[in-house]
Homo-oligomer: A and B are copies of this chain.
């Protein structure tokens, strides 16, 4: 029945959150003489939330939020050298090798002959295309869709454009809010593969776990698909 499998990218195909967490740790250390770490983290998160509607997702937005937080928390005393160090954190994140998560490579190799595989991801277009190329995984996929929100409307538009019925479509991802809930809402299939850490903004309460499948890692996907008959 399932003919098309779409994967989320960040933290489903490759590590991502961990680089944000590393950059945040560097950022907190940088401002440690001004404030305690918990307060720095809290203010950074507040700035990110305030900026999301203006700047969107991705590393550049994150860098701008770190810069604004540094100015706020130092009452403007942050130095040019420190700001440059924050911009450089972003440049390092963008240049980071894109490492596929465990089991991803063999899972894609197993599924490629039987299913049409695609990537559906939020984020910055240039970032995501570059990451897919650098991951070495691009040959497995027939296409990448970079969208600014992952809601039911967006999924319906993608499926319509590709001529895919919801019953034929499986979404695999680490975000209940973005990868699972809108997909089950339109009657398609969803497999939730949690990542070790999940950005607080992505947390969702009160989810009915009977409406989708949770797998511990993506390597369990071929077995689950076989069991669906």
Contact = CB atoms under 8 A, between A and B. Distances in A.
Interface of A: 54-57, 60-61, 63-64, 67-68, 70-71, 74-81, 83-84, 87, 90-91, 94-95, 124-127, 129, 146-148, 161
Contacts of A56: 124-127
A76 B80 CA distance: 4
Contacts of A95: 54
A94 B146 CA distance: 20
Given A55-B60, A129-B148, 10 more contacts: A54-B94, A54-B95, A57-B126, A64-B90, A67-B67, A67-B87, A71-B83, A76-B84, A78-B80, A83-B83
Contacts of A74: 80
Nearest to A81: B76
A22 to B, nearest CB: 18
B148 A94 contact: no
Contact of A64 (B54, B70, B87): B87
A147 B124 CA distance: 11
Contact of A68 (B55, B84, B125): B84
B71 A60 contact: no
A70 B83 CA distance: 11
Nearest to A80: B76
Contacts of A146: 125, 146
17 contacts: A54-B91, A55-B60, A56-B126, A60-B60, A60-B64, A64-B87, A64-B90, A68-B84, A70-B80, A75-B80, A76-B80, A76-B84, A80-B83, A124-B124, A125-B148, A126-B148, A161-B161
